[in-house]
Structure 1
Amino acid sequence: MAMNLTRRKMIFLVGGGAVLAAGGAFGYTATRMPQTAYLPWQRAGGYEDLRMRALSWALLAPNPHNRQPWLADVSEDDVITLHVDTDRLLPYTDPFNRQIVIGLGCFLELLRMAAAEEGHRADMTLFPLGSSATALDQRPIARITLTADPAVKRDPLFALVPARRSNKEPFDMSRPLAPDMLTQMAAAASNGTRFGGTVDPAETAELRALTREALRIEVETLHTYQESVDLFRIGRQEVDANPDGIDFSGPLFETMHLTGMFSREMAADPTSFAFKSGMDAVYANADTAMGHVWLVTADNSRETQLATGADWLRVNLAATALGLGFQPLSQALQEFPEMAGPYDQVHERLAPDGGTVQMLSRIGYGPVVGNSPRWPLESRIMNA
């Protein structure tokens, strides 16, 4: 079975870039979607133990490359001890584990919100046994005690959790964004980070160019791109077996995989149709940004990285409330040597007075997209 697809009609995801596959009419042999990978979204909150209910919401948090690097120890009554799964790090694109810690911060904030929804305060001791500035290890990330508290306030952003997405498709360039949207997103950041944003066409164009160049470097640097390719999950069986990483499911990708038109090997070959189409996709996303938002911090401690994650989740939820598509484009913030040029440029532009630019995202109006796969909660409990 053959499909007549041009480069512009076949697009796929690489390193946080876009996912879209479209073409004319074609026959296909596989129509089933993954059967278990999306179940955690349906099961959130459906546990008897309060800790498990809070954790079942927390695991829906955004995180780099969808690695879901969290492990929870619930062996102590009324306590959750959060660890990082050191098998789920990104050593090439995130050599100091900064982005992983930000993802853990998103997890902790969503856990806090879920507990508050049920009238409980989540008291957190961060890095109770200390931490390293250069690498994560087996020491706990946080110790969380849940305590009933009638004074705890429910967070209005929590209602948006089921609808939150990272939108990895091109945005509508015919729909400009209102500047007051930035004010509303800025109000959601309440954990000490400095929110920044722009919807100015000239500034947006400059950031499009900067993020495009950073994407090019990540993809054209062999070891950083291979890190993404190794996390490709192609077809429903792979997604169900490993519901993390970069999801390529649905009838078109199933058929392309079965007919030998798409594989990890092809995607890794810079001379292939798949690689060249992937570059088109990456650029299409960067080039359709209708605005950008970012977070800057005065220091870059592990605790500050966790606070960044909390605010990043909140800004993403605020964008969801506004009906905006939201996709991190943080390649220019990565600390591997080949990215030094864009890294310096983005800091000169977005943090001219000093500090660390922790996160950067494009915003705009985009199509409705589905959930990301998730591991079941039970697989993330250390002592289950």
Structure 2
Amino acid sequence: MGVILTGIIAFIVIAVTALLIISGNFEKSTYLEPWKKDYAQKFDDPRIQLTAYGLLAANGHNMQPWKIRLDKDNPMVFFLYADSERLTNEVDPFARQMMITQGAFLEYINIAGDKLGYKTDIELFPQGGYDEQKLDESMNTTPVAKITLTKATSQSAPLYAYMFLPDTNRAPYQSTKLTSEQINELENLNTDDNISIKILQDKENVDKLRSYAMKGASIEAGVNRVMKESETIFRSNEYQKNKYRYGFSIEGQGTSGIMKHIMQGLVTLFPSMNSGKAASNMFIQSTQISVDNTPAYAMIITKDNTRLSQVKSGILYSKLILAAHQQGVVMQPLSQALEEYPEMKELYRSIHQDYTPKGGTIQMLVRLGKPTKEVPQSMRRDVIDLIVKE
């Protein structure tokens, strides 16, 4: 009996060790280096330093779709472009989420500028808007923003420290509701008459938005081409994460420690665990757990749906994330019901009818609350990879 038990224990140890090796447990996680607080200081050019901070911003599908062109003639000027090679056309066919992502990046640059002692003058679409009929090509030639730096006195930048926290927490939240003071502070972050933040935590709206989130997840889980798009950018182990440094991974669901590596090893050995019906079921189940443990929701709503409004929504979204972190509150986007591919059309129409009856566009829908646990940071690219080589 003792020999059998010893054999079983030895097998388990060997199996776990093998999974850890397959997972890349002994690899250095270079994809996390941009999260280090001294990472930006490796670069002498202040434009690259600020880009390194912008790289930490929230972004759709963790595609990090930013390109930076440094002005050749003025060392204090640089331009932000949307990276058309990082579009997620199935889930975001009109590139609305892509443009929100651009705004999220700009606000992180703005906050980091205050901390580093630079005034950032951000001019949106300095060369005019996109040619929507040739969107991919237009993104490559038309900047989203021109950023001009002026040396200034370093400011306290109270939200700076919160830039180094993960922008998304998919874990269950505590049942504690936000206080009226917290709600007022978050809703008053906006100063643009064209945009509003709406926070909802009464039972009727929480139940209604939970239903919208689940319907959206169910629809998306049933659209093969959309799920396949996400599957294509899933990085199953440390080797892939170090190679690509963008997309989805196991820890995105909040799994960490040795369990992360065991799961990574299993998914690497058996890719079907994260594809097809298995992936769809996992997505629906994780959404259900999340929304069943959500005390409040927030929306960012614009009166129109122009590219300018989309970018400004992203700027506001970064402010919302960081101010919420300051309050000890975390959030997670629930974007499915706002997506614009054909299968989601009816749900998109319905949620807008309920929450923007006089017109307007819901740019962001997020769940928010106090966290039950911390979650790991996600992959980030090397900042130099964002710089356009002239």
Task: Tell me which interval the TM-score lies in, with the shorter structure as reference length.
Answer: 0.7 to 0.9
1:148 pairs with 126, 146, 151, which one? Answer: 151
Query: Is residue 222 of structure 2 the alignment partner of residue 226 of structure 1?
Result: no
Indicate yes or no: 2:246 matched with 1:248: no
Which secondary structure state, in structure 2, belongs to the residue aligned with residue 168 of structure 1?
A: coil
Task: Check if 1:51 corresponds to 2:47.
Answer: yes
- Residue of structure 2 equivalent to 1:13: none
- Kindly state the Cα deviation for residue 373 of structure 1 after the two structures are TM-superposed: 1.0
Aligned counterparts of 1:144 and 1:261: Cα–Cα separation in 2: 42
1:177 matched residue in structure 2: 178
User: How has the CA–CA distance of structure 1 residues 325 and 246 changed in structure 2, closer, same or farther, with 3 Å as cutoff?
Assistant: same
TM-score w.r.t. length of structure 2: 0.84
Offset, 1:117: 2.1
Q: Aligned letter for 1:148?
A: K
Taking structure 1 as the reference length, the TM-score comes to: 0.86
Is 79-88 or 128-137 further displaced after alignment? 128-137
Cα offset, 1:126, TM superposition: 2.0
Structure 2 counterpart of 1:125, one-letter code: E
SS at match of 1:156: coil
Deviates more, 1:212-221 or 1:115-124: 115-124
After alignment, is 292-301 or 123-132 more displaced?
A: 123-132
Q: C-alpha deviations, 1:136-171, integer Å up to 9, x for none? A: 421222121111245x96542223211242001122
Larger radius of gyration: 2
Residue 95 (1) aligns with residue 93 (2): yes
Q: Tell me which amino acid in the other structure corresponds to 1:233.
A: R
How far apart are the structure 1 equivalents of 2:270 and 2:79? 39
The structure in which a higher percent of residues are helix is: 2
Q: How far apart are the structure 2 equivalents of 1:111 and 1:72?
A: 12
Instruction: Map residues 14-53 of structure 1 onto 2, 5 A cutoff.
Output: 27-28=16-17, 29-30=19-20, 31-32=25-26, 35-42=29-36, 43-46=38-41, 47-53=43-49
Q: Secondary structure at the match of 1:277?
A: helix
Q: Which amino acid aligns with 1:333?
A: L
Is the CA contact 1:190–1:311 (under 8 Å) kept in the aligned structure 2? no
Measure, in 2, the Cα distance between the counterparts of 1:89 and 1:32: 33
List runs of 5+ in structure 2 lacking aligned partners: 1-14
1:374 partner amino acid: R
- Aligned-pair distance for 1:178? 2.6
* Counterpart position of 2:361: 356
Q: How much has 1:382 moved relative to structure 2?
A: 0.9
**How much has 1:75 moved relative to structure 2?**
4.1
Note the C-alpha offset of 1:95: 0.5
Counterparts of 1:262 and 1:337 in 2: how far apart (Å)?
35
SS of residue matched to 2:363: strand
Instruction: Supply the AA of the counterpart residue of 1:241.
Output: K
| Identity score, percent | 28
> In the alignment, does 2:221 pair up with 1:194?
no
Alignment gaps of 5+ in structure 1: 1-25
SS at structure 2 position matched to 1:170:
coil
Contact 1:164 1:320 in 2 (8 A): no
Give the secondary-structure state (helix, strand or coil) at the position aligned to 1:195.
Answer: strand
Amino acid at match of 1:255: I
What do the CA deviations read for 1:45-103 (whole angstroms, capped 9, x no partner)?
A: 31322111111111100000110000111142211111122111110111111101100
Of 206-215 and 245-254, the range deviating more from structure 2: 245-254
- The alignment of Structure 1 onto Structure 2 pairs a total of residues equal to 355
Change in 2 beyond 3 A, CA 1:107/1:236: same
Whichever residue aligns with residue 383 of structure 1, its letter is K
Correspondence for 2:6: none
Matches within 5 A, 1:1-384: 27-28=16-17, 29-30=19-20, 31-32=25-26, 35-42=29-36, 43-46=38-41, 47-76=43-72, 77-130=75-128, 131-133=130-132, 135-136=135-136, 137-138=139-140, 139-149=142-152, 155-173=157-175, 175-192=176-193, 193-248=195-250, 251-259=258-266, 263-270=270-277, 272=278, 275-366=280-371, 367-383=373-389
Deviations 1:356-381 (A, max 9, x none): 11001001222111211100111111
SS at 2:67 equivalent: strand
Amino acid at match of 2:185: Q
Instruction: Indicate conservation of the 8 Å contact 1:165/1:369, yes or no.
Output: no
Bigger drift between 72-81 and 314-323 goes to 72-81
**Equivalents in 1 of 2:28, 2:238: separation in Å?**
4
SS of the equivalent of 1:326 reads strand
Distance 1:343 1:382 in 2: 36
The Cα shift of 1:228 comes to 0.9
Contact 2:321 2:330 in 1 (8 A): no
Give 1:6's aligned residue: none
Q: CA RMSD in A?
A: 2.2
